[in-house]
Structure 1
Amino acid sequence: MERVLGIGGFFVRAEDPDALTAWYRDVLGIDMAAYGVWTQESGPTVVAAFPADTDYFGARAQQVMLNFRVADLDAMLAQLAQNGSHRIGEIQEMDGVGRFAWINDPAGNRLELWQPA
Structure 2
Amino acid sequence: MEKVLGFGGFFFRADKPIYLMRWYHDNLGIDMPPSDYDQQPWRQTAGTTIFLPFERTDTHFGGPTAPFMFNFRVRDLDAMVAQLRANGNVVTVDENEYPNGRFAQLNDPEGNPIQLWQPGGVDSP
Q: Shared fold by TM > 0.5?
A: yes
Residue aligning to 2:91 = 87
Q: 1:89 offset after TM fit, Å?
A: 6.0
Aligned alpha-carbon RMSD (Å): 1.7
Q: Which amino acid aligns with 1:24?
A: Y
Unaligned runs of 5+ in 2: 121-125
The structure with the largest alpha-carbon Rg is: 2
- Alpha-carbon separation, structure 2, partners of 1:45 and 1:57: 17
SS at match of 1:84: coil
Judge conservation of contact 1:68–1:114 (CA < 8 Å) in 2. yes
Judge conservation of contact 2:94–2:102 (CA < 8 Å) in 1. no
User: Greater CA deviation, 86-95 or 63-72?
Assistant: 86-95
Residue aligning to 1:11 = 11
- Alpha-carbon separation, structure 1, partners of 2:5 and 2:94: 33
* Count of aligned pairs between the two proteins: 116
Residue aligning to 1:47 = 51
Select 2:107's aligned residue among 104, 108, 116: 104
Q: Percent identity?
A: 49
Runs of 4+ displaced beyond 3 Å = 88-92
TM-score, reference length from structure 2: 0.84
SS at match of 2:110: coil
Q: Deviations over 1:74-104 (max 9, x none)?
A: 1101100111111136344212x00011110
Q: 1:49 offset after TM fit, Å?
A: 2.1
Unaligned runs of 5+ in 1: none
User: Greater CA deviation, 25-34 or 66-75?
Assistant: 25-34
SS at match of 2:94: strand
- Alpha-carbon separation, structure 2, partners of 1:14 and 1:91: 31
Select 2:116's aligned residue among 105, 109, 113: 113
User: Greater CA deviation, 58-67 or 81-90?
Assistant: 81-90
Judge conservation of contact 1:77–1:86 (CA < 8 Å) in 2. no
Judge conservation of contact 1:92–1:101 (CA < 8 Å) in 2. no
User: Greater CA deviation, 103-112 or 51-60?
Assistant: 51-60
Q: Does 1:73 align with 2:74?
A: no
TM-score, reference length from structure 1: 0.90
User: Greater CA deviation, 3-12 or 57-66?
Assistant: 57-66
